[in-house]
Structure 1
Amino acid sequence: MSVIAKLKDLLAEALPPAAGPEGMSLPRPSGKYMRGGRGVTFAGWKPALREAQDDIGEAWDDAAARVNDLLHNSGWLAGALEQCVANTVGTGLQLKALPENETFGMTPAQASDWAKTVERRFELWARNAQECDIQGLRTFGQMQAAAFRSWLITGEILAELPWRKRPWNRYGTKVRLLPPHRLSRKTESMRRLINGVYTDADGMPVGYRAIRKDLFKHDVEYDVRARDAAGRLRVIHIFEGAPGTHRGISPLVPALQVARQFDQLADATLMAAIVQTLFAVTITSDEPTEQVLQGLLTPQEQAQMLAQGISPMEAYIEMVAGYGGALSGRIKRCGTRGNIPPGASRSAFVCYPQL
Structure 2
Amino acid sequence: MRKTKYDQTRGLYLPDNVRPQNKGYGEAGASWRKKAVKGFNAPSGSAHEDIDFNNYTMRQRARMLYMAAPIATSAIKTNRTNVVGVGLRLKSRIDREVLGLSPDQAERWQKETEREFSLWASNKRACDATGMNNFYGLQQLALISWLLSGDCIGLIKQYETTRLLPYSLRVHLIESDRIATPNNYGAGTTLYYTTGKNPETGNTIYDGVEVDKNGMVVAYHIRSNYPYELGAPVTEWARVLAYQQSTGLPNVLHVIDTERPDQYRGVSYLAQVIEPLLQLRRYTESELMAAVVESFYTAFIKTEAPTDEMPFNEVDPVPPGEMRNPNEYSMGPGQINVMGPGESVEFANPTHPNGSFDKFAVAISAQVGAALEIPSDLLLKSFNASYSASRAALLEAWKAFKMRREWLADDFCRPCYEVWMSEAVARGRIYAPGFFQNPAIRAAYLGSEWLGPSQGQLDPVKEITAEILACSEGFSTHEQSTIRLNGGQWDSNVEQLRRENEKLGGNPPDPHQSGTGTAAPDGEQDPPEGDDNPHNPETARERGTVALRSLVIGEQIKQTIQGG
TM bracket (short chain)? 0.7 to 0.9
User: What residue number does 1:236 align with?
Assistant: 253
> How far does the alpha carbon of each residue in 1:56-84 deviate from its partner, in whole angstroms, 9 at most, with x for none?
11111000010011111123321332222
Q: Distance in 2 between matches of 1:106 and 1:208?
A: 41
Is this contact kept in 1: 2:180–2:221, CA < 8 A?
yes
Is this contact kept in 1: 2:203–2:213, CA < 8 A?
no
Q: Distance in 2 between matches of 1:309 and 1:53?
A: 60
Q: State the secondary structure of the residue aligned to 1:174.
A: strand
Q: State the secondary structure of the residue aligned to 2:91.
A: coil
> How far does the alpha carbon of each residue in 1:154-203 deviate from its partner, in whole angstroms, 9 at most, with x for none?
11020111122332312121111111111004322443222211112221
Q: Point out which structure has higher relative CO (alpha carbons under 8 A, 6+ apart).
A: 2
Question: Between Structure 1 and Structure 2, whose CA radius of gyration is higher?
Answer: 1
What's the Cα RMSD here?
A: 3.6
User: What residue number does 2:313 align with?
Assistant: 299
Select 1:222's aligned residue among 220, 233, 238. 238
Structure 1 residues 248 and 347 mapped into 2: Cα distance closer, same or farther (>3 Å)? closer
Is this contact kept in 2: 1:282–1:348, CA < 8 A?
no
User: What residue number does 2:287 align with?
Assistant: 269
User: What residue number does 1:177 align with?
Assistant: 173
> How far does the alpha carbon of each residue in 1:85-112 deviate from its partner, in whole angstroms, 9 at most, with x for none?
0111011001111111111111111111
Q: Distance in 2 between matches of 1:44 and 1:347?
A: 51
Q: By how many angstroms is 1:212 displaced?
A: 0.7
Is this contact kept in 1: 2:156–2:251, CA < 8 A?
yes
Q: State the secondary structure of the residue aligned to 2:79.
A: helix
Q: Distance in 1 between matches of 2:51 and 2:27?
A: 31
Aligned-pair identity in percent equals: 24
Is this contact kept in 1: 2:125–2:132, CA < 8 A?
yes
Select 2:267's aligned residue among 249, 252, 258. 249
Structure 1 residues 346 and 213 mapped into 2: Cα distance closer, same or farther (>3 Å)? closer
Normalising by structure 2, report the TM-score: 0.47
Amino acid at match of 2:280: F
Q: Distance in 2 between matches of 1:243 and 1:74?
A: 32
Select 1:63's aligned residue among 58, 61, 82. 58
Amino acid at match of 2:218: V
Amino acid at match of 1:62: T
Q: By how many angstroms is 1:34 displaced?
A: 5.2
Q: Distance in 2 between matches of 1:256 and 1:212?
A: 30
Is this contact kept in 2: 1:81–1:149, CA < 8 A?
yes
Amino acid at match of 1:203: G
Q: By how many angstroms is 1:274 displaced?
A: 5.5
Report runs of 4+ in structure 1 exceeding 4 Å deviation.
271-282, 314-318, 345-351
> How far does the alpha carbon of each residue in 1:101-130 deviate from its partner, in whole angstroms, 9 at most, with x for none?
111111111111111111111111111111
Q: Distance in 2 between matches of 1:301 and 1:237?
A: 62
Structure 1 residues 170 and 44 mapped into 2: Cα distance closer, same or farther (>3 Å)? same
Structure 1 residues 280 and 348 mapped into 2: Cα distance closer, same or farther (>3 Å)? farther
Gap regions ≥5 residues in structure 1: 1-28, 338-344
- 1:40 and 2:40 are equivalent in the alignment: no
Amino acid at match of 1:226: A
Is this contact kept in 2: 1:278–1:350, CA < 8 A?
no
Q: Distance in 1 between matches of 2:22 and 2:51?
A: 38
Q: Distance in 1 between matches of 2:158 and 2:325?
A: 71
Pairs within 5 Å for 1:303-322: none
Structure 1 residues 350 and 317 mapped into 2: Cα distance closer, same or farther (>3 Å)? farther
Deviates most, 125-134 or 205-214? 205-214
Q: State the secondary structure of the residue aligned to 1:102.
A: helix
Pairs within 5 Å for 1:110-125: 110-125=105-120
User: What residue number does 2:96 align with?
Assistant: 101
Structure 1 residues 111 and 43 mapped into 2: Cα distance closer, same or farther (>3 Å)? same
- 1:196 and 2:208 are equivalent in the alignment: yes
Q: State the secondary structure of the residue aligned to 2:210.
A: strand
Q: Distance in 1 between matches of 2:102 and 2:213?
A: 45
User: What residue number does 2:524 align with?
Assistant: none
Q: Distance in 2 between matches of 1:42 and 1:300?
A: 65
Is this contact kept in 1: 2:69–2:278, CA < 8 A?
no
Amino acid at match of 1:65: Q
Is this contact kept in 1: 2:256–2:265, CA < 8 A?
yes
Is this contact kept in 1: 2:72–2:270, CA < 8 A?
no
Q: Distance in 2 between matches of 1:316 and 1:191?
A: 65
Q: By how many angstroms is 1:299 displaced?
A: 2.9
Normalising by structure 1, report the TM-score: 0.73
Q: Distance in 1 between matches of 2:86 and 2:133?
A: 12
Q: State the secondary structure of the residue aligned to 2:224.
A: strand
Amino acid at match of 1:237: H
Is this contact kept in 2: 1:165–1:173, CA < 8 A?
no
Amino acid at match of 1:258: P
Q: State the secondary structure of the residue aligned to 1:161.
A: strand
Q: State the secondary structure of the residue aligned to 1:177.
A: strand
Is this contact kept in 2: 1:279–1:350, CA < 8 A?
no
